[in-house]
Amino acid sequence: MNGTTDQAHHPDRVWSVADHLDDILAKLQLPAPVSRQLLDAQGCVLAEDLTVPLPLPPFDNSSMDGYAVRAADVAAATEGSPVTLTVIGDVAAGSGELPTVEPGQAARIMTGAPVPPGADAVVPVEWTDGGTGLGPAATMRAHSHAPQDAGGEVRVHRPAADGAHVRRAGSDARAGEPALSAGTVLGPTQLGLLAALGLDTVTVRRRPRVVVLSTGSELVQPGEPLGPGQIHDSNSFQLTAAARAAGALAYRVGAVADDAKTLRTTLEDQYARADVLVTSGGVSVGAYDVVKETLAGLGTDEGRVEFRKLAMQPGKPQGFGLIGPDRIPLLALPGNPVSSYVSFELFVRPVIRTLMGHPEVHRRPVPARVTASLGSSPRGKRQFLRGAHDPVAGTVTPVGGTGSHLIKAMAHADALIVIPEDTTEVPADAVVDVLPLGPC
């Protein structure tokens, strides 16, 4: 705040979900694209338009094991009156030197092998006697057992039209045409295409490095016994896993006690490896709400974190700012486990997706019919309930109640049910928006 009347940042302002999110996204700076080896780019977003450098396939090749022939030679072939051709050799996949097929000749050819000069069609081996003289063949004989089949004669029982069983050079992709456009998420098939095009590296947006730390003197690591008043730190695991699922490289820092100095030095230690900092806990109005105390009091050189009230439930108290010399975005989420997870979905996930250049920044809402009454919802707040979504039936069933401590119920839900600010009752069979929480 600048001391004058700044309505937008007045401490009493109640922020809408959309305004808080817009403010966060507007302050992000996209990192420069990087070059990555293909498999290191999996799941990343392409940062440049790519052009096909060479045709696919690079040369005319056979789609069948059989005989490369001149179509005119076999036009009259039938089983009763086969056409006999002289076999001039084998063309295997990877063959460099190719024989020329003259009239009356055939070259035995394997799937993927280049169609030799002179030939304009391929007759599958099943339409021939395979060189055996014994009627229709089911297969070629292995070269190691019957090397003589690379020569001699073959009887062709059926005609093959010009171009039959030939995969033309460039029939998949022509040199110079677009291969993939910037913004494409690189999955297995896209990486396969890049490899086929001969590219070994690709320019992508790098995955943001997200550092997650939880705060609270009551927190104990899983695996440790609980003392009086203690609970296990679940948020840092949940949020780190959620950051990974969103596409980030996420690092979990153990829970920090409610001590301003420790929190500050712990955060400073993370500056070098963080593109985004996420904290949980310590943001409400208690006497030990150390995140708020520490970050709200940062000097201007250290950045500024603003603590806000949002018109949402759960997730009312939120902090956001840019801190440290590199002005790293920091999102301070509320400590209640459901609140921190819902806040992650609504605010941190879009940050990660924006930084990685992802075309789908937001979860897409889908309509669903509620199978039971959702009860009352606070007026003026956007409420996010947990639900089990059945996309086939188009229904959603509430899981657990509204309490933001209900960790087990959340683990059994797969969607958030969104109740708009102006809705106060949702009866059974009403249609609501749900946000499915699937992997993409």
Ligand X SMILES: Nc1nc2c(c(=O)[nH]1)N[C@H]1C(S)=C(S)[C@@H](COP(=O)(O)OP(=O)(O)OC[C@H]3O[C@@H](n4cnc5c(N)ncnc54)[C@H](O)[C@@H]3O)O[C@H]1N2
Q: Which residues bind ligand X (CB under 6 A)?
A: 214, 216, 218-219, 231, 233-236, 255, 280-286, 289, 314, 316-317, 334-337, 339, 404
Query: Is 238 near ligand MOO (CB under 6 A)?
Result: no
Closest approach of Cβ 287 to ligand MOO, in Å?
18
- Footprint of ligand MOO on residues 295-334 (CB under 6 A)? 313-316, 334
Terminal CA-CA length for the chain = 37
Residue 131 near which of ligand MOO, ligand X, none (CB within 5-8 Å, type-dependent): none
Give the whole-angstrom CA distance, residue 223 versus residue 220. 9
Q: Residue 19: in which H helix or E strand, if any?
A: helix 17-26
Query: Is 404 near ligand MOO (CB under 6 A)?
Result: yes
Closest approach of Cβ 284 to ligand X, in Å?
3
Nearer to ligand X, 92 or 296 (CB): 296
Residue 279 near which of ligand MOO, ligand X, none (CB within 5-8 Å, type-dependent): none
Query: Is 235 near ligand MOO (CB under 6 A)?
Result: no
Query: Is 240 near ligand MOO (CB under 6 A)?
Result: no
Nearer to ligand X, 141 or 232 (CB): 232
User: Maximum Cα–Cα distance for the chain, whole Å?
Assistant: 100
Residue 318 near which of ligand X, ligand MOO, none (CB within 5-8 Å, type-dependent): none
Residue 235 near which of ligand MOO, ligand X, none (CB within 5-8 Å, type-dependent): ligand X
φ/ψ (deg, to 5) at 180? -145, 150
Residue 57 near which of ligand X, ligand MOO, none (CB within 5-8 Å, type-dependent): none
State which residue has the least CB distance to ligand X.
Answer: 335
φ/ψ (deg, to 5) at 418? -100, 125
Give the whole-angstrom CA distance, residue 171 versus residue 104. 29
Q: Where are the alpha helices (DSSP H) in 14-90?
A: 17-26, 71-74
- Among 287, 429, 308, CA closest to 24: 308
Residue 303 near which of ligand MOO, ligand X, none (CB within 5-8 Å, type-dependent): none
Q: C-alpha angle with apex 117: 57 to 145, nearest 5 degrees?
A: 85
Residue 36 near which of ligand X, ligand MOO, none (CB within 5-8 Å, type-dependent): none
Query: Is 337 near ligand MOO (CB under 6 A)?
Result: no
As beta bridge partners, residue 114 has 61
Nearer to ligand X, 137 or 305 (CB): 305
Residue 319 near which of ligand MOO, ligand X, none (CB within 5-8 Å, type-dependent): none
Nearer to ligand MOO, 324 or 334 (CB): 334
Residue-wise DSSP of 247-307? T-EEEEEEEE-S-HHHHHHHHHHHGGG-SEEEEES--SSSTT-HHHHHHHT--GGGEEEEE
Closest approach of Cβ 223 to ligand X, in Å?
14
Residue 214 near which of ligand X, ligand MOO, none (CB within 5-8 Å, type-dependent): ligand X
Give the whole-angstrom CA distance, residue 328 versus residue 333. 16
Nearer to ligand X, 114 or 317 (CB): 317
- Residue corresponding to tokens 């840092």: 236
Closest approach of Cβ 343 to ligand MOO, in Å?
8
Query: Is 339 near ligand MOO (CB under 6 A)?
Result: yes
Coil, strand or helix at 354: helix
363 by Cβ neighbours in 10 Å (0-12 / 13-18 / 19+) ranks as buried
Closest approach of Cβ 220 to ligand X, in Å?
10
Give the whole-angstrom CA distance, residue 229 versus residue 173. 65
Nearer to ligand X, 188 or 222 (CB): 222
CB 110 within 8 A of CB 92: yes
R_g of the chain computed on alpha carbons? 33
Bond preceding residue 314 cis, omega within 30 of 0: yes
Nearer to ligand X, 128 or 404 (CB): 404
Nearer to ligand MOO, 262 or 424 (CB): 424
Q: Which residues bind ligand MOO (CB under 6 A)?
A: 313-316, 334, 336, 339, 404
